[in-house]
Amino acid sequence: MKLIAARAPNRLYASIFLSLIVCILLTVVTLSFTLYSSFEKIALSNLYASEKNSLSQTSYGAKSMIENSTNYALQLYEDPRFDRLLHYPSPGSAEITAALNHLNTYLNVNYFFHSIYLYSKSSKTFYASTPSYVNAVQSFEDFYDGDARKLIENFSSYKRLAPIPRAIPVQTPFQDTKTANVYTFVFYDLLGQSKELDNVIILNVPERWMKEAILSLDKDQTGSTFIIDSAGTLVTSTDTMPFLANLQNKPYVNKVLAASDSQASDYFVDEVEGVKSLVVYSKHEVTNWIFIRVLPYETILGKIETMKNTVLLICFVILLIGLGISFFLSKSLYKPIDKVIVRLNVLMKEKHTHLDKWKQNFLRQLLHHSANMKPHDLEKELQELDLALDPARDYAVILFVIDRFDSISRQYPYKDRLLLKYGVMNIASEWFTRLGRCECIDDDEKSIAILLNGRLQDEHALIDAVHNVQNSVEHYLNLSISASISQIGDRLTEVSDLYKEAHQQLGWKFMVGYRCILHNRLHGSDAPAPFIYPAQLESNMLETLKLGKAAESKRWFGEIVDSVTSSPYVAYNMLFNQLAFSISTISAHMDKSAGRRADYDFGAFINQMHKLETLQEVRMHFCELIDQLCFGFKDKKSAKHDSLIASIDRIIQQNYADRELSLNKIAELLDLSPAYLGRIFKQITNKSLPDYVNEFRIVRAKELLASTPHSIEEISQRTGYNQSTYFYKVFKKYAGITPAEYRQNASE
Distances (CA, A) of 570 to 52, 254, 522, 536, 560: 73, 59, 20, 21, 16
Whether 304 shows a pLDDT value over 70: the answer reads no
Return all residues near 83 (Cβ < 8 A) that are at least 6 apart: none
Residue 472: what pLDDT?
92
Kindly state whether residues 214 and 71 are assigned to the same domain: yes
Higher-confidence residue: 571 or 292? 292
- What single letter denotes the amino acid at residue 684? I
- What single letter denotes the amino acid at residue 330? S
Residue 742, domain CATH: 1.10.10.60
Among 191-205, 405-419, 428-442, the minimum mean pLDDT is found in 191-205
Of the residues 485, 519, 553, which one is the last residue of a structural domain? 519
Kindly state whether residues 624 and 590 are assigned to the same domain: yes
Kindly state whether residues 254 and 402 are assigned to the same domain: no
The reply to whether 39 falls in a domain is no
Q: What angle do CA 511, 517, 521 make, to 5 degrees?
A: 90
The reply to whether 511 falls in a domain is yes
**DSSP β-ladder status, 177-188 and 199-206:** antiparallel
Quote the CA–CA distance of 379 and 520 in Å, as a whole number: 29
Instruction: State the first-to-last Cα distance of the chain, in angstroms, to the nearest integer.
Output: 109
pLDDT tens digits for range 644-674: 788 888 888 888 888 888 888 888 888 888 8
Q: Are 69 and 205 spatial neighbours (Cβ–Cβ below 8 Å)?
A: yes
The reply to whether 109 falls in a domain is yes
Kindly state whether residues 116 and 238 are assigned to the same domain: yes
Of the residues 636, 665, 694, which one is the last residue of a structural domain? 636
**DSSP β-ladder status, 137-139 and 125-129:** antiparallel
Quote the CA–CA distance of 305 and 355 in Å, as a whole number: 55
List, edge to edge, every strand of the sheet that includes 164-171.
137-139, 125-129, 115-120, 199-206, 177-188, 164-171
Range of the domain at 291: 57-297
Helical H segments across 519-614, by residue range:
535-546, 550-562, 569-593, 602-611
Of the residues 281, 297, 313, which one is the last residue of a structural domain? 297
Residue 556: what pLDDT?
87
Kindly state whether residues 126 and 168 are assigned to the same domain: yes
pLDDT tens digits for range 674-694: 887 888 788 777 888 888 888
The helix or strand, by DSSP H or E, that contains position 362, with its residue range, turns out to be helix 335-369
Whether 278 shows a pLDDT value over 90: the answer reads no
Quote the CA–CA distance of 310 and 304 in Å, as a whole number: 10
Kindly state whether residues 103 and 222 are assigned to the same domain: yes
Whether 705 shows a pLDDT value over 70: the answer reads yes
Whether 2 shows a pLDDT value over 70: the answer reads no
Q: What is the mean pLDDT of the chain?
A: 79
Residue 70, domain CATH: 3.30.450.20
Kindly state whether residues 582 and 650 are assigned to the same domain: no
156, HSE (Cβ side, Cα atoms, 13 Å): 5
SS (H, E, C) 497-528: HHHHHHHHHHHHHHHHCCCCEEECCCCCCCCC
Q: What secondary structure letter does DSSP report for 233?
A: B
Q: What's the burial of 629, exposed, middle or buried (CB within 10 Å: 0-12/13-18/19+)? A: buried
The helix or strand, by DSSP H or E, that contains position 364, with its residue range, turns out to be helix 335-369
The reply to whether 333 falls in a domain is no
pLDDT tens digits for range 71-122: 888 888 888 888 878 888 888 888 888 888 888 888 887 778 888 888 888 8
What phi and psi values does residue 617 have, to the nearest 5 degrees? Answer: -65, -40
Quote the CA–CA distance of 347 and 340 in Å, as a whole number: 11
Quote the CA–CA distance of 252 and 272 in Å, as a whole number: 7
Kindly state whether residues 724 and 681 are assigned to the same domain: yes
Residues 700-708 have a mean pLDDT of 87
Q: Are 578 and 560 spatial neighbours (Cβ–Cβ below 8 Å)?
A: no
The reply to whether 11 falls in a domain is no
The helix or strand, by DSSP H or E, that contains position 730, with its residue range, turns out to be helix 724-735
Residue 46 has a CB neighbour count (10 Å cut-off) of 10
Quote the CA–CA distance of 315 and 71 in Å, as a whole number: 66
Residue 661: what pLDDT?
86
In the structure, what pLDDT confidence band is assigned to residue 6 with cuts at 50, 70 and 90? Answer: very low
The reply to whether 331 falls in a domain is no
pLDDT tens digits for range 568-596: 667 777 888 888 888 888 777 776 655 56
In the structure, what pLDDT confidence band is assigned to residue 4 with cuts at 50, 70 and 90? Answer: very low
pLDDT tens digits for range 604-620: 888 888 788 887 888 88
Residues 171-199 have a mean pLDDT of 74
The reply to whether 323 falls in a domain is no
Kindly state whether residues 222 and 109 are assigned to the same domain: yes
Kindly state whether residues 611 and 542 are assigned to the same domain: yes
Kindly state whether residues 573 and 662 are assigned to the same domain: no
Q: Are 485 and 466 spatial neighbours (Cβ–Cβ below 8 Å)?
A: yes
Quote the CA–CA distance of 720 and 697 in Å, as a whole number: 8
Residues 153-160 have a mean pLDDT of 79
Q: How big is the chain, counted in residues? A: 748
Kindly state whether residues 138 and 274 are assigned to the same domain: yes
The reply to whether 107 falls in a domain is yes
How many domains does the chain contain in total? 4
